[in-house]
Amino acid sequence: MPRKVSLFVPCFVDQLQPEVAVDTVRVLRRIGCEVNFPQDQTCCGQPGFNTGYWNEARPCAERFLRVFKDAETIVCPSGSCTTMVRNFYPELLASSSSHDEAIALGQRTFELSEFLVKVAGVTDVGATFPHTVTYHASCHGLRELKLRDEPLQLLRSVKGLKLVDLLRFDECCGFGGTFATKFESISVAMGVSKAESIAVTGAEFVTAIDPSCLMHVQGILGKRKDRAQAIHLASILAREA
């Protein structure tokens, strides 16, 4: 198992949901990893890339390559930002001298649940969370990184946790970055569909591997004053008895 892990904290987690990063560190340390956080990191470039501003996003990718150059293993508590690095950097840097480096870096960058289950070989991280939880499969994690069972394996090993199925668990929550504000009505309608499915489960919490989806889902749940709360997988895994 790799002992040394470099933390890649997406910009909006750093600024808006720092507890997700804190909980990621807790979980990694609990399974015996030595965690460092390269402080020169900023944003992976996804907002620019997804909106079509590839020239503006490219320096972010190049910066990321420099900052994580010597990292053995990079772990990120977001399927979407991991996708940016692994799947889209090679495209963004296709005609750059760093193309090969980008591919190699993508191979050692992992989303948290992927790292725990596939790299570290751990499914029981010693967590306790005595609540009813339902799982939403975030799009990038599911379709770009092909992570289907990894988060579920981790959840099933949490003491006291009751996992309930979510109808249309793999349908998008409607976040989509700038889509959420450019197309507010469509995004909210998708979010409401998701919230309705969550309500049917009766779960106290809905979890996922992407903080951006969870921020959107929480925004909708909060506005509707629904019972369920959105919580990141890392925060469940960080809880102890």
Which one of residues 5, 6, 8, 49 is an interface residue with another protein (CB under 8 A)? 49
Q: Which stretch binds another protein (CB under 8 A): 122-130, 154-162, 201-209, 212-220?
A: 212-220
**Quick one: 40 or 70, whose CB is closer to another protein?**
40
Report H helices in the chain.
Answer: 11-16, 18-30, 46-51, 54-67, 79-83, 89-92, 99-107, 112-114, 139, 150-156, 179-182, 184-201, 211-224, 233-238
Helix (H) or strand (E) holding 7: strand 4-7
Minimum gap (Å) between residue 134 Cβ and another protein: 18
Assess 11 for contact with another protein (CB under 8 A): yes
Minimum gap (Å) between residue 65 Cβ and another protein: 13
- Measuring CA to CA, which residue among 120, 111, 116 is closest to residue 139? 111
Assess 218 for contact with another protein (CB under 8 A): yes
Q: Which stretch binds another protein (CB under 8 A): 33-41, 116-124, 155-163, 199-207?
A: 33-41
The 97-126 contact track toward another protein, x by CB under 8 A, reads ------------------------------
Residue 206: partners with Cβ closer than 8 Å, 6 or more residues away? 133, 134, 135, 136, 166, 198, 214, 217, 221, 228, 229, 230, 231
Task: Please give the size of the binding site for another protein, defined by CB under 8 A.
Answer: 75
